[in-house]
Amino acid sequence: MIDDLPGGLTARHLTEEDHLRVLAVVDAWWGGLKGQAGALERALLLPRLYFQHFTTTSFLIERDEEQLAAFLVGFLSQTEPDAAYVHFVGVDPQLHGQGIGRALYRAFFALARSHGRRYVHCVTSPQNTASRSFHTRLGFTVSPVKPNYDGPGLDRVAFTIDLAAHPVRPT
Ligand SMILES: CC(C)(COP(=O)(O)OP(=O)(O)OC[C@H]1O[C@@H](n2cnc3c(N)ncnc32)[C@H](O)[C@@H]1OP(=O)(O)O)[C@@H](O)C(=O)NCCC(=O)NCCS
């Protein structure tokens, strides 16, 4: 499913049983970004429905002994036939910098392409500088900060990549 992972890691699609396992790690993996308010925001961003109705476009990576290593929750846009969307992505901090985030996106891009999708979109908090750097390295364009984008006080920056302008397997 994802053939370019470091040794000892395996990938599969999400299942409903993964919901609480993923929720259990997000706060630590996001390094407590934005404190208590950030923790609540993140928990509310991952309701069970993503683990029920978006499983075939989402991925989970595990270490030996089924320890969670990374995940990507994404979907094909219902509204825009040429677009796909990455809703949430996280990699265990102990595994950062090994190309796992890039491998997850590569798999999602391939899936999006196979469904005729040309653009991939996502958003992040302006405070999430790691996410901004990561998406920029992958070739996404970054918008200016969009105030109140996700509700009062929930500013975001938006990322977009045009898959037609990028090689099938970016290195
Ligand atoms: C953002 C995140 C997913 C990156 O995962 P990762 O597996 O460490 O990233 P990769 O190793 O695949 O890196 C891919 C590229 O992005 C760059 N990159 C990744 N994190 C970076 C950071 N914090 N600062 C600068 N560049 C970064 C890498 O240098 C690499 O570039 P290169 O291949 O050209 O050298 C990970 O840091 C994470 O889970 N963060 C917490 C959760 C989060 O913020 N998610 C995104 C918002 S929903």
Q: Decide yes or no: CATH 3.90.1150.10 for domain 10-121.
A: no
CB burial of residue 40 (10 Å; 0-12, 13-18, 19+): exposed
How far, in Å, is the centroid of ligand 1 from the Cα of 30?
A: 12
Q: Whose CA is nearest to atom 1 of ligand 1?
A: 131
Residue 74 pairs in a beta bridge with 86
Are 70 and 124 contacting, i.e. CB atoms less than 8 angstroms apart? no
For the CA of 122, the nearest atom of ligand 1: 48
- The pLDDT value given to residue 60: 98
Helix crossing, 35-45 with 19-29: angle to 10°?
150
What is the phi/psi pair of residue 76, to 5°?
-90, 135
Domain ranges of the chain: 10-121
How far, in Å, is the centroid of ligand 1 from the Cα of 40?
A: 23
pLDDT-derived band at 65, boundaries 50, 70, 90: confident
Per-residue pLDDT of 1-51, as tens digits, reads 898 899 999 999 999 999 999 999 999 999 999 899 999 989 899 999 999
Are 131 and 72 contacting, i.e. CB atoms less than 8 angstroms apart? no
d(CA 85, CA 107): 13
Which of 29, 68, 96, 105, when mutated, tests ligand 1's pocket best, judged by the most ligand atoms within 8 Å of its CB?
96
**Helix, coil or strand: residue 112:** helix
